[in-house]
Chains A and B, each alone.
Chain A
Amino acid sequence: MWGSGLSLTGLPLLVVCWIGTKLAIGLTIVGWRHGGPARVFTRTVSILLCEAVALFTLGVVANRAFDLYPSWAALLHPVPEPKPVPVPAARLDGWLHGRDLRGAKHGVTFAWEPPGWGGWGLAGAPTVFAPQAYFDGPALRFPVIVVAAPPQTGPAQGAWNDRQVLETMVQSRAAVVVFLRLSRAAGTAAAGAGGTVTDRLPYALSLDVRVSSHGWALVGIGADAALALTALAQRPERYQDGVVIADGAAPLPPLVLAQVRHGSLEQPRCLVARVAGGVLPPAVRLLLVGTAPARLSAAMAWIYPLLPAPLNPPEIGPIGIPPKPRPRRPHPRSEFTPGPPRATPARAAGARPVLS
């Protein structure tokens, strides 16, 4: 192509245009008195030629100054679209839709046993709640609320009832909720090490359930509040908002208290909500709610309106490239084994819907 030797923004083209303009004007002047009977026609063509060349030169000057079209290809060819990013199907979708009748009305709650979860330091398998809307949109990807609680937090300890909380969610906004019961040692270690569970969970969950890649929220309860804060600080590209809840049975750890300057946090019945937009404490809100069972519901009610809507995956990508990819942490080998969802039938058989 002729442009390949004459860059659109280069000086040679500018010189050529300048000479061309001078030449056109010169030829017009010289040929003005010539042309015979067609003189009006030749003069008209000459004038138009001069104007065209001069305007083209002006365009080249402007393009060079503002760096608009850097190449002939950019000027003459359409902008190529980024390649669509293939979105893999969620492995548990088939099994979940098998419970469509139940899910379409109330959502489905089940014990989730992803490969390698035994190494996550949990006291039991995570409990996952797929909301009613999950069954309405076959491609929608949902934001996630991760609730991290000590193993002994429950009705017996005067705290909330998971089932009651989940039942209130049926009427609420669409989000996948994961309940984690951390073993005591694992909870402390996880918070200190940057949250092993909160690192591994997203990848494993995204293989099995249709979840969004970001806009997640965390609820940390009692001693596990630190886990929520650590994940918020270290994984902002994933976790967007969080709530820490003081628990009478397991008070907030010193790490949390050190970050929050509200003295009233010592009270056992308080809920501290962290608003995204700044690391604690500038955006901390302190909400006091009544009885212990209401605390988790209040946390959920606070965090739901901050979540993004469930959305179909973007058409083009790449989307969500972090600037500096972190080296992967060692995972149990089975967690990264490509292929069909080998554990799905077994898990499906063993899954325990909690919500009726």
Chain B
Amino acid sequence: MEPNGIATDAVAVAGCVALAVLTAWAWKATKRFWAWPLRVLTVLACVAGSLAVAGITVNLKLNLYTTWSQLLGPGARTGTVKPGRVVSQGQGGSRVVTFTIVGRISGISVSAYAYLPPGYGAPAHAHTLYPVVEAVDGFPGSPNTWLVSLHAARMLDREIQAGRMAPTVAIFPYQYTSPTHDSECVNAAGGQQWETFLTRDVRAAVTEQFRVRTDRAGWGIVGTSTGGFCAVNLALRNPDMFAATASLSGYFWALTDRTTGDLYRGDRRLRLENSPLWRIQHLPVPDMPVFLSSARDDRNGYASLQHFVAAARPPLSVTTVLVPQGGHTGGVWLVLEPSVYDWLSGWLAAPEEERGPRA
């Protein structure tokens, strides 16, 4: 029974009902001196129970925690995991495995997941180097946004088997060490260096541990919501590392609020340089294809998309895919997900045969 399971939610609801019955029954059941403390306790238990139902229902929707150890364990995001543990296996032979990214430059170390396409482990492809899609999630979120809510492995399998996507390795790293702190994937002034981690460190760790292309032509980055901001921002700031980028309901202005904290410490220039919209308006734009998508009724997402499209200029090229409604939700991303994969694969270099021995 996982924390994001329907069974867990049903048990929580049943517990809530039981607590309500207990409260109703216990109210008059005793007239001793501890009657009032008991009543207060049962009422508080009811409140706690209903909040638990709310939390579990939200987790059911967002899949923030998919195992109890992720929720309760000390090193769910940080620290090392057993490398190569198979999390899931697709019908075509694809696998999702765990691995650890030790950030030698950023100093950040987190666990991550890798999708290995069908044929990755076959002897015939023992020397094939695959293109890579790095997928970052929104806030609040975790790699489970992609792997559980958006069924990324199944979707990738489907697109690859249909020939709409080349066999590709997909990487799902954590991008926050705390579930309550939004890093925005930037190098915070005097803080954690998430941009360095998600670019240089991820690249180094993935090329060390998997058979993937190491060149810019073979790497793309995609994200949902805050992850969409991350993907576009990281690609525009590091055009030597990514050949294409895609945003699902992302925004394009550096955000600071209670969840991010003061990421820029008053450094206006740093904040502007982490705003993709400002970058394409005021700095030379890189030769970068960008995929933007949103629901038309997602007020902020759609407005952001329109501003970005209006400001885009060659050699930046923009492709847009819109759905009429759905808001800022996983339902929209689920519908758009195959087209993102297809589009990215159309821009990334194909798998290639290894030319020399790997270091």
Contacts and interface: CB of A to CB of B under 8 A. Distances in A.
Interface of A: 32, 39-41, 43-44, 47-48, 51, 54-55, 58-59, 66-71, 73-75, 77-82, 137, 139-140, 173, 212-215, 233-234, 236-237, 240-241, 275-279, 283, 305-309, 311-323
Given A305-B352, A308-B346, A314-B339, A71 B297 contact: yes
A312 B50 contact: no
A276 B239 CA distance: 9
B345 interface: yes
Contact of B46 (A51, A234, A311, A317): A51
Given A233-B315, A277-B286, A82 B327 contact: no
B119 interface: no
Given A140-B163, A277-B287, A79 B24 contact: no
B33 interface: no
B232 interface: no
A73 B50 CA distance: 27
B122 to A, nearest CB: 17
A156 to B, nearest CB: 34
Contact of B350 (A67, A173, A283, A319): A173
Contacts, number: 195
B328 to A, nearest CB: 5
B289 A79 contact: no
Contact of A74 (B27, B53, B329, B339): B329
A80 B46 contact: no
Contact of A44 (B24, B286, B324, B328): B24
Chain A residues touching B, majority SS? loop
A275 B21 CA distance: 70
B309 interface: yes
B273 interface: no
A311 B321 contact: no
B107 interface: no
Contact-size category for B: 35 or more
Given A80-B324, A277-B287, A308 B350 contact: yes
Contact of B338 (A55, A68, A214, A315): A315
- Of A79, A213, A313, A321, most B-chain CB atoms within 10 Å: A79
A8 to B, nearest CB: 9
B204 interface: no
A212 B16 CA distance: 57
Nearest to A40: B24
Contacts of A40: 21, 24-25
Interface in B342-359: 342-343, 345-352
Contact of B289 (A58, A212, A214): A214
Closest CB pairs A-B (n = 3): A309-B350, A43-B24, A79-B326
Contact of B309 (A39, A78, A323): A323
Given A306-B349, A307-B350, A313-B164, A70 B297 contact: yes
A55 B310 CA distance: 41
